[in-house]
Structure 1
Amino acid sequence: MRRLDQLLSALGYCSRREAMAFVKEGRVKLGGVVVKRSDQRVDSALITVDDEPLEAPDGLLAMLYKPVGYSCTHSEEEGQNIYELLPAHWPDRNPAVTSVGRLDKDTSGLLLVTDIGSLVHRYTSPKSDIEKTYLVEVDRELDPTLIDIFAKGDLMLRSEEKPCLPAKLEIVSSQSARLTITEGRYHQVRRMFASQGWRVENLHRERFGPYVLGDLAEGEWQMLSLEQVAR
């Protein structure tokens, strides 16, 4: 049970002071009955705002199809960012919604966003071993020997002290392939190919752990269930 004004503020609906106005205007109901006090302790599952249930009161996890050209930052100084594609009140949640890891501006594809700190840690920890699959297009014909080079687990990248973990490469066409990795080093996929003399022209993440984009359109997002996610 939480105070109503604290609850609405934490979920990004309004400030604690503005919650008083929400209540005065009759916009908030508890079990279908208009709430009279903003400091009342309530069960979030029974609260509605404008006759709609509260959005993800226990924390949210969503999947976004990030387009090329968008950065994974809250800063407006870097141009377009992914939060422009999400509901405007999500950054006002406390904790604020953030991306799980990052995709650089020139990379498109699946990105998870959440306000649950334990999920961010779980999905980005070096010990997580979560598979990420990328569709890669390069500047010239691929050599099948790359399959073994990436799979051995001894590939060293410049300025790194440890080799990359084994990665699975599937050549799709003469200049495109799918690469599955379990790490998230800085620009890892591009650097892996560059170390062998290939330049990545286009990079798209198709899968993150159990999540795939499916029919999700570019620039769109969808909420994911927390029921099967271990905190």
Structure 2
Amino acid sequence: MKLVKLIANLGYGSRKDVTAMFRSGRITDAQGEVLYADDKVEHDTIRVDGEPLDPPAGLVIALNKPVGYTCSTKDQGRIVYDLLPPRFRLRSPLLSTVGRLDRDTSGLLLFTDDGGLLHRIVSPKANLAKVYEATLASDLSGEEGAIFASGELMLEAEKTPLAPAALEVLEPRRARLTLTEGRYHQARRMFAAVGNHVEALHRSRIGGLTLHDLPGGQWRTLDSTDIETLFRG
């Protein structure tokens, strides 16, 4: 792929913008030598304004999503893309969220521009566990674990029961819920179905992947080892 197209696809600007960046000497190699649009160089040797070029297509990111951000590109309020470099939302192929977390839920959120990987993660066949820490409005009754594990719980407006889910009671009003499905607002609706209300919800793990002490609002790129860890869980 020609350098102009490569850099434009990474969101740095239109092809016209990137051509102008070459002409002004803003694109160099690792030693600071100016590159030209027809040069043939390795991706990891390219610098833009002295900074390494963003990863190529196949990018996977983990974000510790704070409360108050929506998983959207068009919402009028705060969106998760505001927490990433602005050019990331201009990449081609598109950098998409892998599933969603609602505005009031925090925790591990994945992004990728690899459509095949995205579908592999969200596919029911993957059976990836998603672990949530829930803070509740009322004390747990002690019956919730058996109800959630039964595989018979029906949510309002649903036509099929939920797959069995595991509940670990941490405190009278705190619990860890492990799901293998991703129905709309599932964790909140499950607790509502047993007469409780979720006051705070945090996703701590997907498959074998955790946040690794990533601070709220921060992100990191994932490598092949991380992806292997994700599917081992």
With normalisation by structure 2, the TM-score equals 0.90
Identity of aligned residues (%): 45
Residue 44 of structure 1 pairs with residue 20 of structure 2: no
As a proportion of its length, which structure holds more helix? 2
| Other-structure match for 2:192 | 194
| Other-structure match for 2:25 | 26
Render the CA deviation track for 1:110-164: whole Å, top value 9, x for unaligned: 1111222122211222222111100011121102221111112111111112111
| Other-structure match for 1:204 | 202
Offset at residue 31 of structure 1 (A): 6.9
Structure 1 distance, partners of 2:85, 2:162, is 37
Whichever residue aligns with residue 102 of structure 1, its letter is R
Residue 98 of structure 1 pairs with residue 96 of structure 2: yes
| Other-structure match for 1:14 | 13
Residue 130 of structure 1 pairs with residue 140 of structure 2: no
Structure 1 distance, partners of 2:45, 2:204, is 37
| Other-structure match for 1:225 | 223
Could you tell me whether the CA contact under 8 Å between 1:61 and 1:226 is conserved in 2?
Answer: no
Structure 1 distance, partners of 2:102, 2:127, is 21
Residue 3 of structure 1 pairs with residue 2 of structure 2: yes
Whichever residue aligns with residue 116 of structure 1, its letter is D
Structure 2 distance, partners of 1:82, 1:52, is 24
Whichever residue aligns with residue 119 of structure 2, its letter is H
Greater Cα offset, 153-162 or 39-48: 39-48
Task: Compute the RMSD of aligned alpha carbons.
Answer: 1.9
Structure 2 distance, partners of 1:185, 1:127, is 15
Could you tell me whether the CA contact under 8 Å between 1:99 and 1:114 is conserved in 2?
Answer: yes
Structure 2 distance, partners of 1:90, 1:225, is 18
Render the CA deviation track for 1:60-91: whole Å, top value 9, x for unaligned: 111111111111101142x1111111111100
Whichever residue aligns with residue 25 of structure 1, its letter is S
| Cα gap change, 1:110 to 1:229, in 2 (>3 Å) | closer
SS at match of 2:224: coil
SS at match of 2:16: helix
Where structure 1 has 5 or more consecutive residues not aligned to the other structure, the ranges are none
Offset at residue 169 of structure 1 (A): 0.3
Offset at residue 198 of structure 1 (A): 1.1
Could you tell me whether the CA contact under 8 Å between 1:3 and 1:42 is conserved in 2?
Answer: no
Could you tell me whether the CA contact under 8 Å between 1:62 and 1:221 is conserved in 2?
Answer: yes
Match of 1:85 among 83, 86, 94: 83
Offset at residue 182 of structure 1 (A): 0.6
| Other-structure match for 2:114 | 116
SS at match of 1:198: coil
Offset at residue 53 of structure 1 (A): 2.8
Match of 2:156 among 155, 158, 176: 158
Structure 1 distance, partners of 2:15, 2:9, is 9
Structure 2 distance, partners of 1:227, 1:15, is 33
Whichever residue aligns with residue 164 of structure 1, its letter is L
Offset at residue 218 of structure 1 (A): 1.2
SS at match of 1:165: coil
Whichever residue aligns with residue 101 of structure 1, its letter is G
Where structure 2 has 5 or more consecutive residues not aligned to the other structure, the ranges are none
| Other-structure match for 2:35 | 35
Could you tell me whether the CA contact under 8 Å between 1:96 and 1:115 is conserved in 2?
Answer: yes
SS at match of 2:126: coil
Whichever residue aligns with residue 157 of structure 1, its letter is L
SS at match of 1:89: helix
Structure 2 distance, partners of 1:229, 1:213, is 13
